[in-house]
Amino acid sequence: MEIWIATGNKGKLEEYKLTLAKFLEIKVYSQSDLPVFSAKPETGTTFLENARIKAKSVKALKADYWVLGEDSGLEVESLNHLPGVHSARYAGPNARDSENVAKLLKMMQIRSGANRQAVFKCMTVVYTPQNEELIFEGVLKGTISPKLAGVMGFGYDPVFVPEGETKTLAELGPAWKIQKSHRALALSQFLAKLKETTVIS
């Protein structure tokens, strides 16, 4: 089977490719493999709405194939669950990961509370070749470290310490993330569904 991942985020794509590499029957492509593609604005107010926007924009060009769109983000308890759907643009429309992380730490410092609880959420929408919509969700609980640590991954990985761990995702690296992250949890439900329907073995 051919699956098209509706993302322009290299970090995310890397994680999908690493997980799917062991399924030799699955060929992975992304929107950057399309000759012409322009991403639609993420105007949704929920992860699900934005995941649909992304998946549909690729499905419109790859109607006969499997298409996966995903929207994810970080919700911090003491910040009223922000940055949420704004995670990629928290510090501004074209903000770099380092700027988003700096803003997050600053906002948490302003709140000065001891509550550093946070969750990563991933909402995944898959369209089958027959255009059936499948929805999967993954959640990863953790805390926000006051200092950056680690160099692997992307986004908020350098400040997110998963529950039960003492290191950040950027220290734990891709081997940990492809087993246990919010993205991995949503993806494993999709893979289970594919196995159930014998698309893969």
User: Would you state the structure tokens that stand for residue 37, as one six-digit string?
Assistant: 């593609």
Residue span binding ligand IMP (CB under 6 A) among the ranges 17-25, 65-73, 106-114, 192-200: 65-73
Quote the least distance from Cβ 110 to ligand IMP, whole Å.
20
Under the binding rule (CB under 6 A), the answer on residue 171 touching ligand IMP is: no
Alpha-carbon span 22 to 6, nearest angstrom: 20
> Which one, 98 or 195, has the nearer CB to ligand IMP?
98
Q: Where are the alpha helices (DSSP H) in 43-127?
A: 47-59, 97-111
In the set 31, 157, 171, 194, which binds ligand IMP (CB under 6 A)?
157
In the set 69, 79, 181, 185, which binds ligand IMP (CB under 6 A)?
181
- Annotated active-site residue 33? The verdict is no
Largest CA distance in the chain: 52
How would DSSP label each residue in 139-178?
EEEEEE-SS---SSSSTTGGGEEETT-SS-HHHHHHHHHH
Strand, helix or coil for residue 81? coil
In the set 69, 138, 142, 155, which binds ligand IMP (CB under 6 A)?
155
Positions marked catalytic: 71
User: Which positions touch ligand IMP (CB under 6 A)?
Assistant: 9, 42, 71-74, 87-88, 100, 120, 153-157, 169, 181, 183
